[in-house]
Amino acid sequence: MKTGFTPRQLEVPAASSSEAELRRCVRCGFCNATCPTYVLLGDERDSPRGRIYLIKDMLENERAPTAEMVTHIDRCLSCLACVSTCPSGVNYMRLIDHARAYIEDNYKRPWLDRLCRRVLGAVLPHPARMRLAMSFGRLARPLVGLFRAAPLKPVAAMIALTPPRTEPRRDWQAVYPPQGAMRGRVALLQGCAEPVLRPEIRAATLRLLNRMGLEVVFARDEVCCGALVHHMGDEAGAIAAARRNVEAWTRERQIAGLDAIIVTASGCGTSLKSYGHLLRNDPLAEAAAEISNLAADISEVVARFGLPPVTQPQALTVAYQCACSLQHGQKIKDGPAGLLAAAGFAVRTPAEAHLCCGSAGTYNILQPGIATQLRDRKLANLARLSPDIIASGNIGCLTQLGQATSTPLVHTVQLLDWATGGPNPLTERTIQ
Ligand code: SF4
Ligand code: SF4
């Protein structure tokens, strides 16, 4: 695609990075076919190619974003199905992140939208605040009907996503020693939503990694990975979070080295793997690139070090829902399903596996209508497999799908832990 950025504009690193991506696009439109919002809405402006045009026009002409432009950009899930499809290798994530930051700097959203985003950005990355907010959400459940009117729908979505009970706060050790001879030392990302909503996932991860002979540490002073605020256009907030984490893990590496920084919420994994790019112009650029290279999804580390012997095989059918942030964001597609099969489960994958379930960070709160349609479509495809269990590698998918199915939903790592000696995750609390 021909671009017309001026030399002055290209002096700004974000603009020169976006220009490089725009030039890669040949406008073929292959990406439209796999874009969930285009599949649902059929509007070119809700497709990757249409959004790329909007972004180009907005950035190149330094145009003030209009409400219409913002609507179509906001409807993007950042699922990155378009990136998987694109034959030209356009890194759409960089374009949409730049566009969102530009909108936040140059557009005044309606006050309720601003308030909602501010509350989400202030609460979700902080486990203690999130725990408190969930208590309020539960109290507000009987009043959810009052928030069904259009401008208040995000409030209703937030209340609907509140689980029926809050897990008690657990105290975690700083270090979890390996069983038997030590084969490596890894840090585990502490995360924000996952340990509040499903601490069992962390417990299963620790057991499995220790069983594999890995020492697991939690780095001091680590914070939220920054993905939640980044997807809402707060680039400065995302950079600040990335800097703190790079410093925290660099200190941890200096203590006794790290073989990996493990992530069990795949949305956060995509974020960590992008730190090198996010901080490319920062004094911490080199350290950030090293941290990005160390970041690994739990499934990658299990594959690298080997699944422990299967001591408790289960004759169960598992429908595997591959999170967008794994298959499109990190290009990890068949690995987790392969591990589940190696652990003895009968693994099935649904039709339209490339389509997002509608979770997408805060998307199911900010765009509840589209998110609900995508959720129901995903659940219908999963139900056709008649599974005993649905597994996914991302807390967002588990929470989103768990709103509307009675099939037990668990994290992939819980099944791997179970098969290799851990407790039955189905008799512990599942997401419903
Ligand atoms: S598939 Fe790639 S090259 Fe083709 S329109 Fe989409 S982004 Fe552009
Ligand atoms: S990130 Fe997902 S929703 Fe956004 S344009 Fe790409 S395919 Fe469509």
How do residues 406-428 score in pLDDT, each as one tens digit?
999 999 999 999 999 999 999 87
Q: How far is the C-alpha of 145 from the C-alpha of 395, rounded, in Å?
A: 26
Collapsing DSSP to helix, strand or coil, 412 comes out as helix
> Which letter does DSSP use for residue 343 in this model?
T
pLDDT at 153: 81
The pLDDT-based confidence of 429 (bands split at 50, 70, 90) is low
How many angstroms separate the Cα of 215 from the Cα of each of 150, 176, 183, 251? 50, 6, 8, 17
The 10s digit of each residue's pLDDT in 223-274 is: 999 999 998 889 999 999 999 999 999 999 999 999 999 999 999 999 999 9
Pocket of ligand 1 (CB under 6 A): 25-31, 48-49, 52, 82, 85-86, 88, 90
Q: How far is the C-alpha of 368 from the C-alpha of 205, rounded, in Å?
A: 31
261 membership: H or E segment, kind and range: strand 260-263
Q: Ligand 1, residue 24: give the atom nearest the CA.
A: 3
Name the average pLDDT for the chain: 93
The pLDDT-based confidence of 164 (bands split at 50, 70, 90) is confident
For ligand 2, is residue 77 a contact (CB within 6 Å)?
A: yes
- Domains, the chain, in order of start with CATH, read 7-106 (1.10.1060.10), 111-161 (no CATH), 175-303 (1.20.1050.140), 310-419 (3.40.50.1860)
Closest listed ligand to the CA of 79: 2
For ligand 2, is residue 324 a contact (CB within 6 Å)?
A: no
Handedness of CA 70, 229, 125, 193 (dihedral sign): positive
pLDDT at 193: 87
Residue percentage of the chain with pLDDT more than 90: 83
Dihedral over alpha carbons 191, 195, 199, 204 (to 10 degrees): 0
More confident residue, 173 or 185: 185
Q: What is the mean pLDDT of residues 164-182?
A: 87
The pLDDT-based confidence of 277 (bands split at 50, 70, 90) is very high
Q: What is the mean pLDDT of residues 360-383?
A: 96
Residues 6+ apart with CB under 8 A from 160: 144, 403
The 10s digit of each residue's pLDDT in 293-346 is: 999 999 999 999 999 999 999 999 999 999 999 999 999 999 999 999 999 999
In the predicted model, is pLDDT for residue 430 greater than 70?
A: no
Residue ID of nearest Cα to ligand 1 atom 4: 28
Q: Ligand 1, residue 48: give the atom nearest the CA.
A: 6
In the predicted model, is pLDDT for residue 364 greater than 70?
A: yes
Q: Ligand 2, residue 77: give the atom nearest the CA.
A: 3
Strands 214-217 and 175-176: antiparallel
Name which of 186, 188, 210 is nearest 259 in CA terms: 186
Residues 6+ apart with CB under 8 A from 258: 185, 186, 187, 217, 249, 252, 294
For ligand 2, is residue 390 a contact (CB within 6 Å)?
A: no
Q: How close is the Cα of 14 to the center of ligand 1, in Å?
A: 20
The pLDDT-based confidence of 432 (bands split at 50, 70, 90) is very low
For ligand 2, is residue 36 a contact (CB within 6 Å)?
A: yes
Distance in Å from the first CA to the final CA of the chain: 47
Residue ID of nearest Cα to ligand 1 atom 1: 86
Q: For 25-144, where are the alpha helices, taking DSSP H only?
A: 36-41, 48-60, 67-74, 81-85, 92-106, 111-123, 127-140
What's the number of CA atoms in the CB half-sphere (13 Å) around residue 73? 29
The 10s digit of each residue's pLDDT in 179-226 is: 999 999 999 999 888 988 899 999 999 999 999 999 999 999 999 999
pLDDT at 146: 75
Residue percentage of the chain with pLDDT more than 70: 99
Q: Ligand 2, residue 83: give the atom nearest the CA.
A: 6
Q: What is the mean pLDDT of residues 363-389?
A: 97
In the predicted model, is pLDDT for residue 129 greater than 50?
A: yes
Q: How far is the C-alpha of 354 from the C-alpha of 357, rounded, in Å?
A: 9
In the predicted model, is pLDDT for residue 149 greater than 60?
A: yes
Counting runs of H as helices and runs of E as strands, what totals does the chain give? Answer: 24, 9
Q: How close is the Cα of 125 to the center of ligand 1, in Å?
A: 33
In the predicted model, is pLDDT for residue 142 greater than 90?
A: no
Q: How close is the Cα of 79 to the center of ligand 2, in Å?
A: 5
Q: How close is the Cα of 30 to the center of ligand 1, in Å?
A: 6
In the predicted model, is pLDDT for residue 431 greater than 60?
A: no
In the predicted model, is pLDDT for residue 355 greater than 80?
A: yes
Which of 100-109, 115-124, 143-152 shows the highest mean pLDDT? Answer: 100-109
pLDDT at 161: 81
pLDDT at 145: 77
Closest listed ligand to the CA of 89: 1
